Amino acid sequence: MTGSFRRSLLRGFLMHSALVPALALLPTPAHAKDGPEDDKAQDSTILVTGLREKQTGSGTKTDTPLMETPQTITVIDNDELVRRNALSINQALGYVAGVAANQRGGMVTRYDQLILRGFAPGVYLDGMRLLAGPYSTPQIDFNRIDHIDVVKGPASVLYGNSTPGGLVNLTSKMPEQVASGRFELQLGNYDTIRAVADVNQPLDADGKWLARIVGGWQKGDGLTRGTFSERYHVSPMLTFAPDDATSLTLIASYQRSPSGGGYSGVSAYGSVLANPNGQLPRDINTGDPGYERYDHRAKSVEALFRHDFNEHLSFRSSARFQNNWLSYRQLYVAGFATTGTGANRNTDYSTIIRGGGGADENFDTLTLDNSFNAKFETGPLKHNVLAGIDYQHIAGENFQQFNTGVTANPLTSIPNLNLFKPVYGGTLPSFDLTKLSSAYTNSYSKRDQVGVYLQDQIAIGRLQLIASGRYDWYDQTTLNKRNNAMTPFSQTAFTGRLGALYELPFGVSPYVSYSESFEPQTGATWDAVPFDPVTGRQYEAGIKYQPRGTNALFTVSAYDLRRQKVPVGDPRAGTNGIPSTAQIQIGEVRVRGVEFEGRGEVTPGFDVVVAAAYTDAIITQGAPAVAPTATNSGTPTTTGTRQLGTPEWTASTFLSYDFGKSGRVAGPLGGLSGGVGVRYVAGSDGTTAYKVVSNVTTFERFTTESFTLVDAVLGYDLGRATPALQGFSLAVNASNLFDKSYISACPFSNSCYYGAGRTVIGSLRFQW
């Protein structure tokens, strides 16, 4: 497809995005009421969808219930988020099967870094990808979030480029027709304070104009000594719904984090592996409070439009413009100092060499998604067809530089640190990146992705079939602003999905599915053959079960997932004239797993969350071995090894009971609620090359220790004690109740991260 045709297609798409909502707001003939309900809805089963009225699910972009979707999808509703006081994606997904949350533990909380089925998932807000620069990735304040969808397995067929592990979609709170609100004040250890508000109000008697505003502020110390974080946000919303068939919602948001806690990890020696000087404390700061900087500002405007032409045809349009501005500085571990010279040079395990620097970024993002949804019948077949086109655009400037080690120039020098007698401050490197090094980078990049997709969900009695296909055009341009060198890059990809599910009459639905993903890949082989996109594919089979009369869903699934065409070192590199840095696309990671997950209200007042997963993530074709030299032990091949940071076994459960909702307890005791959770995470692999013995740098692979954490909550509805306190409630949430010290993961070579210590938060809420 030519560039001019793509530009023409995009212009038409943008015009269509603007014109269709405007035309649909014009008066239309009254629609006939829906026909008789299907006979399957007449039994006592409560429909589990995870959706509010008129919403769509992340797995299909239609209103298909989870019990009819042939894919593993987890929905965490707002009640559960509040009950567990989950204020980030990592906290929310700690009780989801197949997720290795908190890859950087409690030491780094400014980003949502986790693994889903072996890979970092894409994060979306209202079905649109959250994009920014390398370090300005947005983290959405959870006061804005209504619920979370976790789609497991490749999802490129509806969302474009992404890793094969899956995606996490956050759904914004929206204006509602009933006036309501909530104020909340929280206090906790680590000097934590948080105050948020959420006010929803119809603006007219007919409910055609609805408004809502959420906002708040929070501040607290980090796990790492000398660090703290702060954030404030406000998000006003307005909905115009002239009739039941049409709605347009506008959401504006401003969020600033003038500080973001720590960003430095620790070495494996002294945390996972033995250090002759002892164990490192979990609050050790390997950076420097005097140099740490994190100031992130995010602004966005979002429009969500829906129009039902009749009971058979509907149109949806989503658009968001977002700007992310960031200034970031940091010092971090870059190795150990050594003692001695020549053959007597050995690691000094008490002193680390540090790197330092940072980035300044300013990126604009535009995301659009338009789709038509048609429901009709052809003989015995009931079709639910989705056809859409989406667009992602991100453009911005990145300015960065990182130095390593001590130099004679105080502007460029990164001081060493004694881990066991740390002294901070003193002469620190320049905050000005141009003075930090003349080798600083300054680039402007622009990425565009246009995707067209088509999906047909076919019901034949109790048999549910799905077939989806998508074609993507991806373009990227990078401009080096220091020498005006421009690097263009374009790729295309087709992805598909097939699935089948059969609804048995007693609440059990077995299913099978196949799905694909792609990731654009720059670079070329040594003889200038451009790389293809990295691809992913998954075969999955499972069984879903919804006990009759409950609002709970249980799923057992097994899958085989592959990420293929990953660039790795060419085994022939360094021979026959082939450069030593040459790469070839033969890399593959195979993830096989079994998952069990269930969540929901099984009896009035009794909510259950249970999850367990076996994840076998193996690099089946990896980087070749590096031969040893006189000063280096070499590096073994990664083929046959486990992916770093991915635990083989995880299990968790959270059980909670609300005496008031149970209907069995009256009076003051009916205001009591409580719950307890247990999380088990097996050890995961890590690597390090920081050991020097007799002048030989030595590579070492290791496994972290497994850990088990206990969480708890105790709450009370004060309105049960006295009518004067109607709407007020208290809650105390404790995470890692027994204050276990542990390493959450070592997801990058040479870097490990301590998990959060005991965190206790008390909440006072007023809700109406």
Per-residue pLDDT of 86-122, as tens digits, reads 999 999 999 999 999 999 999 999 999 999 999 999 9
- For 168-187, the pLDDT digits (tens) are 999 999 999 999 999 999 99
Specify which residues 172 forms β-bridges with. Answer: 145
Q: What domains can be seen in the chain, in order of their start residue? A: 66-173+200-573+581-767 (2.40.170.20)
- What is the spatial order of strands in the sheet that 166-172 belongs to? 73-76, 145-152, 166-172, 122-125, 128-129
Pairing status of strand 228-243 against strand 246-260: antiparallel
- For 532-586, the pLDDT digits (tens) are 999 999 999 999 999 988 899 999 999 999 999 999 998 888 888 888 888 999 9
d(CA 256, CA 78): 24
Token pair, residue 287, equals 């950076």
Torsion of CA 273, 749, 694, 415, to 10 degrees: -90
Token pair, residue 71, equals 């894919």
Rg (CA), the chain: 27
Q: With helix as H, strand as E and coil as C, how does 478-519 read?
A: EEECCCCEEEEEEEEEEEEEEEEEECCCCCEEEEEEEEEEEE
- For 202-247, the pLDDT digits (tens) are 999 999 999 999 999 999 999 999 999 999 999 999 999 999 999 9
What is the reported pLDDT for 666? 85
What is the band of 46 on the pLDDT scale with cuts at 50, 70, 90? low
3-state helix, strand, coil in the chain (%, to 5): 10, 55, 35
Task: Give the CA diameter of the chain.
Answer: 89
Cβ neighbors of 527 (< 8 A, separation 6 or more) are: none
Q: Are 526 and 165 in contact (CB under 8 A)?
A: no
Instruction: Specify the length of the chain in residues.
Output: 768
- For 249-287, the pLDDT digits (tens) are 999 999 999 999 999 999 999 999 999 999 999 999 999
| Average pLDDT rounded to a whole number, residues 582-610 | 96
Q: Are 397 and 481 in contact (CB under 8 A)?
A: yes
Backbone angles phi, psi at 719, to 5 degrees: -65, -20
Task: List Cα–Cα distances, 157 to 225, 371, 466, 565, in angstroms.
Answer: 44, 14, 12, 18
- For 367-390, the pLDDT digits (tens) are 999 999 999 999 999 999 999 999
Closest CA relative to residue 266, chosen from 281, 252, 250 = 281
- For 614-666, the pLDDT digits (tens) are 999 999 999 999 999 999 999 999 999 999 999 999 999 999 999 999 888 88
Pairing status of strand 122-125 against strand 166-172: parallel
| Higher-scoring residue by pLDDT: 348, 13 | 348
